[in-house]
Amino acid sequence: AMNRVQLLGRVGQDPIMRQVDGKNPVTIFSLATNEMWRTPENDANQGGEVAMSDISQKTTWHRISVFRPGLRDVTYQYVKKGARIYVEGKIDYGEYTDRNNVRRQATTIIA
């Protein structure tokens, strides 16, 4: 079996470092990836150029967690909002209880 993710995108917020219940710290940040495609109607205008209205875009946000000590510290120190970075890791599905005591599901990329 294989659980592997590769993402190239822009950092949405400066990384933060958290330590929960005395466990090892983790660096967390968000990463945006974009998907663009041309709409099927009117693929090209008379001159063969694509008008901006013919292109659609979707942004997907990913939550990235870094646990490995060396990588965690470098990420916290050097990764900044807006930087374009490549992340490789695995998908982790989990559940947590929010401040209102509501159970929520979370998808995280473990870098």
pLDDT in tens, 96-111: 899 999 999 999 999 9
Domain boundaries, position 35? 5-43+50-110
pTM for the model: 0.79
- CATH code at 80? 2.40.50.140
**Which pLDDT value is given to residue 74?**
96
**Is 43's pLDDT higher than 60?**
no
**Which pLDDT value is given to residue 52?**
55
pLDDT in tens, 45-81: 555 665 556 889 999 999 999 999 999 999 999 999 9
Token look-up 């150029």 returns 49
Average the pLDDT over 17-21 and give the result: 85
Between 96 and 93, the higher pLDDT residue: 93
**Is 21's pLDDT higher than 90?**
no
> How many domains are there within the chain?
1
**Which pLDDT value is given to residue 109?**
98
The band of 38, judged by pLDDT with boundaries at 50, 70 and 90, is confident
